[in-house]
Amino acid sequence: MSDLSQLAPGLADPPHDAQRIFRAILDAVSHPGRIVSLPAAPAGPGRLSPAAAAYLLTLADRDTPVCLAEEFDHPAVRDFLRFHAGSPIVEDRGEAAFGVLAANTPQPLEGFNLGTDAYPDRSATLLVEVPALSDGLVQQWRGPGIDVRATVAIAGLPEDFWTEWAANHGLFPCGVDVVFTAGTELCALPRSIAVEV
Partner 1 sequence: MTEINAKDGAYNYAYLDEQTKRMIRRAILKAVAVPGYQVPFGGREMPLPYGWGTGGIQVTAAIIGQDDTLKVIDQGADDTTNAVSIRRFFARVADVATTTRTKEATIIQTRHRVPETPLGEGQILVFQVPIPEPLRMLEPRETETRTLHALSEYGVMQVSLYESIARHGRIAKTYNYPVMVNGRYIMSPSPIPKFDNPKLDRSPALQLYGAGREKRIYAVPPHTPVKSLDFDDHPFEIETWEQCCALCGSRESFLDEMIVDDDGQRLFVCSDTDYCERRRDTAEAAE
The residues of the shown chain that bind partner 1, judged by CB under 8 A, are: 14-16, 18-20, 22-23, 25-27, 29-31, 58-61, 63-64, 97, 116-121, 123, 125, 144-147, 172-173, 177, 190-192
Q: Residue 20 or 156: which CB sits closer to partner 1?
A: 20
Cβ burial of 3 (10 Å; 0-12, 13-18, 19+) is exposed
Q: How far is the CB of 38 from partner 1 (least distance, A)?
A: 14
Cβ pair 188, 25 in contact under 8 A = yes
Cβ pair 83, 5 in contact under 8 A = no
Q: Which residues have a Cβ under 8 Å from the Cβ of 150 and sit 6 or more positions away?
A: 31, 32, 33, 34, 140, 141, 142
Q: Residue 71 or 83: which CB sits closer to partner 1?
A: 83
Q: Residue 111 or 120: which CB sits closer to partner 1?
A: 120
Q: How far is the CB of 135 from partner 1 (least distance, A)?
A: 26
| Selection from 183, 176, 35 nearest residue 108 by Cα | 176
Q: Residue 120 or 131: which CB sits closer to partner 1?
A: 120
| Selection from 73, 102, 121 nearest residue 161 by Cα | 102
Q: Residue 156 or 185: which CB sits closer to partner 1?
A: 185
Q: Residue 121 or 159: which CB sits closer to partner 1?
A: 121
- Rounded CA-CA distance 86/93 in Å is 18
Q: How far is the CB of 84 from partner 1 (least distance, A)?
A: 12
Q: How far is the CB of 5 from partner 1 (least distance, A)?
A: 25
Q: How far is the CB of 97 from partner 1 (least distance, A)?
A: 8
Other CB atoms within 10 Å distance of the CB of residue 196: 10
Q: How far is the CB of 57 from partner 1 (least distance, A)?
A: 10
Q: Which residues have a Cβ under 8 Å from the Cβ of 21 and sit 6 or more positions away?
A: 11, 38, 39, 40, 41, 54, 55, 57, 58
